[in-house]
Amino acid sequence: MATSKQHRGIRIRAISLVAVVFGLLTIKEGGAVLFGDEAARIAAGNYVPFVLWFNFVSGFAYVVAGIGLWLQQRWSAWLAAAIATAIVLTFTAFGMHINSGGAYEQRTVIAMIMRTLVWVVIATLATQALRRK
C-alpha cells in the first residue's frame, strides 16, 4: 500500500507537470501574438497589452516553478504562491481596465479566471505537500 509520502510525491509530480505544460503553452501563445505576424495580432482581437506581456513573461516563471516542484524544492511553493498573487493583481488591474471602458476580449476574462484557479490550486497543494517534506 502506498504511503502518505508516496501520495505527496505523486501529487507534486502531477502539479509540476501541469505547471510546466501550462507555462510552455502560455509562452507559445503569448509569443505568437507578441512576436508573430500581423495575422496573429488580428486573430487575438482586442488584447490588452499589459495582460499579454504579463502572461507571456509569467509563463517562464510557471516553467521554473514546475521544475522546482518536480525536484520538490520548498522555494517552488513560495514561487507558486507569488505567481498566484501576481495573477490576482494583474486580473484586478485588468478588471479596472474593463471598468474604465477599455477594449478587451471575453476569452481573456475566461483565461484569467482559469489562470487564477490553476495557480491558487497549485500553490495550495505545493505548500501542503512541501511543508510536510
pTM for the full predicted model = 0.90
The upper half-sphere exposure of residue 87, i.e. CA atoms within 13 Å in the direction of its Cβ, equals 27
For residue 93, which of 73, 112, 117 has the smallest C-alpha distance? Answer: 112
**Averaged in consecutive runs of 10 residues, what is the pLDDT profile of the chain (133 residues)?**
69 95 97 94 94 98 98 96 98 98 96 97 93 67
The upper half-sphere exposure of residue 93, i.e. CA atoms within 13 Å in the direction of its Cβ, equals 11
Domain boundaries, the chain: 4-131
For residue 118, what is its C-alpha cell? 490553476
> Is the CA virtual torsion 68, 72, 76, 81 positive or negative?
positive
Q: Read off the pLDDT of residues 75-106 as tens digits, 9 standing for 90 and up.
A: 999 999 999 999 999 999 999 999 999 999 99
